[in-house]
């Protein structure tokens, strides 16, 4: 599990841009006292999430029958955190954290992407094999990306409250309620120039 003080080792252009942003803001904090608090959350999910992300994409594939790519067989591990938990943590940090401090927002549960998609298929009542097409790993993909949120829990008493099963059920309900609209939107990443 990655701790807040772990040195940056970005493996993708996106990760490099995030690290650069943190370093840029940290320099403003040190030079001018800019009151920044750093939050790092990975694999945030929930209603309204971008459709190219794994959870809504798997749900849409299950509901429409359009297969999705499961990169590397889905063996990489992640910890998924519901947006409601991220919002609560961010508000608490805005009110209580010391400027210049860094906090990880994460659950303590890791799951393989394959097990995640299997769980989504089960919730949607469709066979896993009808939803996925296995493909090779994506270039630069981390096998495991897990943030350690112990500091947030121990120093500020924060706890994630939305379990993955409950969050998936909540997100499936959102997909179902908006399926006609979601089917008309792009399911792939759209770069904004």
The domain limits of the chain are 37-182
Confidence category of residue 137, pLDDT binned at 50, 70, 90:
confident
Residues pairing with 68 in the sheet:
132
Give residue 141's pLDDT.
Answer: 64
**Is residue 43 within 8 Å of residue 116, measured between CB atoms?**
no
Express the helix, strand and coil content of the chain in percent, nearest 5 each: 45, 15, 40
More confident residue, 193 or 140: 193
CATH topology of domain 37-182: Rossmann fold (3.40.50)
pTM of the predicted model as reported, rounded to 2 decimal places = 0.90
Separation CA 57–CA 84 (nearest Å):
20
Q: How many CB atoms lie within 10 A of CB 162?
A: 20
- pLDDT, one tens digit per residue, over 61-109 is 999 999 999 988 899 999 999 999 999 999 999 999 999 999 999 999 9
**pLDDT exceeds 80 at position 143:** no
**pLDDT exceeds 80 at position 191:** no
């Amino acid at each position: 599990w990655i701790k807040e003080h772990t040195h940056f080792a970005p493996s993708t252009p996106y990760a490099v841009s995030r690290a650069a942003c943190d370093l840029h803001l940290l320099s403003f904090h040190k030079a001018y006292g800019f009151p920044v608090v750093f939050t790092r959350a990975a694999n945030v999910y929930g209603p309204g999430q971008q459709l190219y992300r794994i959870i809504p994409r798997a749900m849409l594939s299950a509901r429409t029958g359009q297969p999705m790519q499961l990169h590397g067989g889905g063996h990489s591990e992640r910890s998924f955190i519901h947006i409601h938990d991220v919002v609560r943590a961010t508000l608490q940090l805005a009110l209580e954290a010391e400027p210049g401090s860094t906090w990880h927002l994460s659950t303590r549960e890791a799951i393989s992407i394959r097990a995640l998609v299997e769980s989504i298929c089960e919730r949607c009542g469709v066979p896993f094999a009808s939803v996925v097409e296995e493909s090779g790993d994506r270039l630069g993909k981390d096998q495991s990306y897990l943030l350690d949120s112990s500091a947030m829990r121990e120093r500020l008493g924060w706890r994630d409250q939305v379990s993955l099963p409950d969050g998936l059920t909540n997100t499936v309900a959102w997909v179902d309620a908006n399926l006609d609209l979601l089917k008309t939107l792009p399911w792939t990443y759209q770069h904004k120039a």
